[in-house]
């Protein structure tokens, strides 16, 4: 199997920890993405998903113009390196029930890879198993 670097979206749009929820949501809209990596310089420090905004801001009746990415970001991240294989990424996605994984070199964000990216290049049977795991 190939390496993640062959599939990943390089240099995804990011937000700093100080970005408001409104700013993060605008990046999601403008880039047509669900997750936005949060970086401090080039260092990946978290990720905010559309679900984070709904659950941690809207449902909690917080002010989206003052709640920051740092306050709502998931920080216990699953990552892969550009040299990781497709099978490793699929296994991590299935085990942790995530559809996208940041790609890092050390702590520096270099890309993001999605379940769809890997599924297009991976074995059909393995991809089917991962989709079932993520959907549980």
Cα 116–chain centre separation:
13
Token reading at 111:
């890309």
Query: Could you tell me if 115 and 134 are in contact, meaning their C-beta atoms sit under 8 angstroms apart?
Result: yes
**pLDDT tens, position by position, 88-108:** 888 898 899 888 999 999 999
Residue 132, pLDDT above cutoff 80: no
Helix (H) or strand (E) holding 112: strand 108-114
Indicate the pLDDT class of residue 115, thresholds 50, 70 and 90. Answer: confident
User: What's the number of domains the chain is made of?
Assistant: 1
DSSP three-state, residue 132: helix
Question: What pTM, to 2 d.p., does this model score?
Answer: 0.85
Q: At what angle do helices 124-134 and 86-96 cross, to 10 degrees?
A: 20
Q: What does the pLDDT look like over 6-55, one tens digit per residue?
A: 999 998 999 999 999 999 999 999 999 989 999 999 999 999 999 999 99
Distance CA 66, CA 10 (A): 30
- Which residue range(s) make up the domain with 62? 4-134
Please give the Cα distance from 99 to 78 (Å, whole number).
Answer: 11
127, pLDDT greater than 60: no
Q: Provide mean pLDDT across the span 63-77.
A: 95
Pairing label, strands 108-114, 9-10:
antiparallel
Average pLDDT score over residue span 57-69: 96
Give the integer Cα–Cα distance in Å for 126 and 132.
10
What is the predicted pLDDT for the residue at 129? Answer: 61
Identify the pLDDT of residue 117. 84
User: What's the CATH code of the domain at 93?
Assistant: 3.10.580.10
């Amino acid at each position: 199997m190939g390496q993640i670097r062959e599939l990943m979206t390089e240099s995804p749009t990011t937000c700093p920890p100080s970005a408001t929820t409104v700013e993060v949501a605008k990046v999601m809209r403008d880039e047509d993405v669900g997750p936005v990596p949060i970086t401090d310089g080039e260092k990946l420090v978290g990720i905010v998903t559309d679900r984070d905004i709904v659950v941690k801001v809207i449902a909690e009746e917080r002010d989206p113009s003052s709640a920051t990415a740092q306050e709502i970001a998931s920080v216990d991240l699953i990552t892969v390196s550009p040299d990781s294989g497709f099978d490793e990424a699929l296994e991590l996605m299935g085990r942790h029930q995530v559809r996208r994984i940041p790609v890092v070199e050390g702590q520096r964000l270099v890309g993001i890879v999605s379940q769809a990216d890997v599924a297009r290049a991976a074995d059909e049977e393995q991809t089917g198993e991962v989709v079932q795991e993520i959907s549980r």
